[in-house]
Amino acid sequence: MSQSGPRADYRLLAPPGKVEPLERPPSFAIVITAYQAAETAAAAVRSALAQEHPADEVIVVDDGSTDDLRGALAPFEGQIELVSKSNGGGASARNAGVAAAASEFMAVLDADDVYDPRRLGALAQLAVARPDLDLITTDARYVVDGEAVGTFATDNPFAVEDQREAIFRSCFVGGWPAVRVSRLEEIGGFDEEMRIAYDWDCWLRLILSGSSAGMVDEPYYDYVLHGGSLAASRVPSLWERARLLEKVRLNPGLRESERPLLEEAIRWRRSEAVREEASMIASGDARRSRSAALARLPNIDRRARAAALLATTVPPLARRLSGDRRTPTARITGAES
């Protein structure tokens, strides 16, 4: 990779001290996790192999697919490493990819998505300039039906200062960074008990244990959303986000001064989940009997409790109380803030 090109626009905090740039880029393994992705995996692999700064490894983890994923990947034999395992979920597949990688960084690529050809070069350039960073990423485009409908960083601004506090409020790193493998191993990798928010959980644990993140402010990752993605229920995702924050209470890296902010974030996420469930009950899309249980839950705000109480008695008011506070782009894409 040439170091003489124009400097990218970076979003990152100042280094803790003097940092000497690397003489050469670190090695990168692009890890593609795939489950029932025979229709999309080839496009993801092609984008990984088309990088202007070539990856040292391209690893595809088949997480127990029953479709013809192997057939879809046959044209790339000899160019990729295929790891097959029984189905265990996204976190398990990511861990298998990390275990198979010999590179310094694991770069995330989901089988539904694609890299811009310039992405790995941009990540490598940032890694050279700032070898103190353990999480490096780019912005991402939301793509629906082949059209870009916004970018991740527009709705989730990348945190430059106070990353420890910011990671409680949102997964500002996104779901597709390159991560230093040695640090991943130090914190125990991805939590395989988590089915949805394992990426946010992992970046949070990294940051609380001393890692810093940086971003190239260009949308070099296409986050491709399909009909099934958009129709998926938000409720399990919202409760998982509350649970990952509740886990932080026992994190040894948590500072006492950070506990009030953490508790505020937990209360917000629990309330958000209750409001979403209440809206579904009011619309007839969830069990009415769930309303009373939601209203009795601890650590939620008054708006959420009122929405739960009114979901079966005054549905229109419950829907207004619930609302949808996501940004316009997030509502279109189904993305989480």
Residue 1 in any domain: the answer is no
The yes-or-no verdict on residue 13 having pLDDT over 90 is: no
Residue 225 is predicted with a pLDDT of: 80
Residue 15 is predicted with a pLDDT of: 86
* Same domain flag for 39 and 120: yes
Percentage of the chain lying above the pLDDT 90 cut: 74
* Same domain flag for 113 and 246: no
Percentage of the chain lying above the pLDDT 70 cut: 90
pLDDT band at 207 (very low <50, low <70, confident <90, very high): very high
Residue 233 is predicted with a pLDDT of: 64
| Of 98, 116, 121, residue with least CA distance to 108 | 98
Residue 5 in any domain: the answer is no
* Same domain flag for 116 and 219: yes
Residue 320 is predicted with a pLDDT of: 77
Q: 185-204: per-residue pLDDT in tens? A: 999 999 999 998 999 999 99
- Tell which wins on pLDDT, 234 or 250: 250
Residue 293 in any domain: the answer is yes
Residue 4 in any domain: the answer is no
CA distance 27 to 102: 9
The yes-or-no verdict on residue 318 having pLDDT over 90 is: no
In the listed set 192, 216, 231, which residue is the last one of a domain according to the structure? 231
Mean pLDDT value across the chain: 90
Q: In sequence order, what E strands does 79-212 have?
A: 81-85, 105-110, 114-115, 135-144, 147-151, 178-180
Residue 1 is predicted with a pLDDT of: 41
Question: How many domains is the chain built from?
Answer: 2
Q: 163-173: per-residue pLDDT in tens? A: 999 999 999 99
Residue 325 in any domain: the answer is yes
* Same domain flag for 166 and 45: yes
* Same domain flag for 200 and 326: no
Q: 102-129: per-residue pLDDT in tens? A: 999 999 999 999 999 999 999 999 999 9
* Same domain flag for 163 and 35: yes
Residue 3 in any domain: the answer is no
* Same domain flag for 158 and 219: yes
CA distance 60 to 35: 10
Among 24-33, 85-94, 313-322, the least confident range: 313-322
* Same domain flag for 131 and 53: yes
- Over residues 147-164, the mean pLDDT reads 93
Q: Domain with 91 in it: what CATH number?
A: 3.90.550.10
In the listed set 231, 250, 282, which residue is the last one of a domain according to the structure? 231
Residue 102 in any domain: the answer is yes
The yes-or-no verdict on residue 212 having pLDDT over 90 is: yes
pLDDT band at 324 (very low <50, low <70, confident <90, very high): low
Residue 28 is predicted with a pLDDT of: 98
The yes-or-no verdict on residue 48 having pLDDT over 50 is: yes
CA distance 48 to 51: 6
* Same domain flag for 221 and 282: no
Q: Is the Cβ–Cβ distance between 283 and 317 less than 8 Å? A: no
Q: 49-82: per-residue pLDDT in tens? A: 999 999 999 999 999 999 999 999 999 999 999 9
CA distance 218 to 47: 17
Residue 47 in any domain: the answer is yes
CA distance 166 to 215: 15
Dihedral angle at the C-alpha atoms of 111, 112, 118, 119, nearest 10 degrees?
Answer: -70
Q: Is the Cβ–Cβ distance between 10 and 126 less than 8 Å? A: yes
Q: 253-265: per-residue pLDDT in tens? A: 999 999 999 999 9
* Same domain flag for 263 and 203: no
Range of the domain at 303: 235-333
pLDDT band at 335 (very low <50, low <70, confident <90, very high): very low
* Same domain flag for 223 and 239: no
Residue 227 is predicted with a pLDDT of: 56
* Same domain flag for 56 and 34: yes
Q: 281-299: per-residue pLDDT in tens? A: 888 877 788 889 999 999 9
In the listed set 231, 248, 278, which residue is the last one of a domain according to the structure? 231
